A and B are shown apart, each in its own frame.
Chain A
């Protein structure tokens, strides 16, 4: 079975500061990894995904994530937070042959002016 751990349900970051959201996964087979963002009253939107190839993945809105197999991690970063980044962020995992997404509990990001 595969699972995702996201620590810290609420994350506060100052405007202009680094955004770092941690994601660790558990999977017995090579994983496919995803980050989704959910704005209030909206559906989830894909930020970026890792399937194969380059381990540093760039997504929309200036976000990027790096797949580290040795650390079973896929942390999400953005160099400079913007007020519009306030939202809930979910890490998810699937694997070849099974596109069921297993989601973490999410991180609610608050951006402080």
Chain B
């Protein structure tokens, strides 16, 4: 079974530029998550999708971050414009459903550096 795929793996941009990350979840997984992991901290949930609908985006900085999951499969996370404090690893995860005990499977992440 293929795991969660993410691209690119690394990205370096200047502040105020835009950037987009892509995620392909495990086939058949209805729920998709985007996490932000700042160096030295645990992952923090940014947004959660159930199929193509948003379940929780309470911690997403909506003035600069946006995400979509068209057709309920792949997802894109965008930052526009980027700030220095956005430097982090962005992790995508998926789970079969949204029940609290479901295992979340994580991709390898995209490491973003904002200069």
Contacts and interface: CB of A to CB of B under 8 A. Distances in A.
Contacts, number: 60
Among B31, B40, B104, the most chain A Cβ lie within 10 Å of the Cβ of B104
Main secondary structure of the interface of B (DSSP, over half): loop
Given A43-B106, A43-B108, A95 B40 contact: no
Given A90-B42, A103-B42, A43 B100 contact: no
A94 interface: yes
Interface residues of A, number: 26
A61 interface: no
Contacts of A104: 42
A105 B108 CA distance: 18
B42 A92 contact: yes
A49 B100 contact: no
> How many B residues are at the interface, by size bracket?
20 to 34
Given A96-B100, A99-B95, A43 B56 contact: no
Contacts of B107: 43
Contacts of B104: 46, 99, 101
B42 A106 contact: yes
Interface in A57-109: 90, 92, 94-101, 103-106
Interface of A: 4, 9, 32, 36, 41-46, 49, 51, 90, 92, 94-101, 103-106
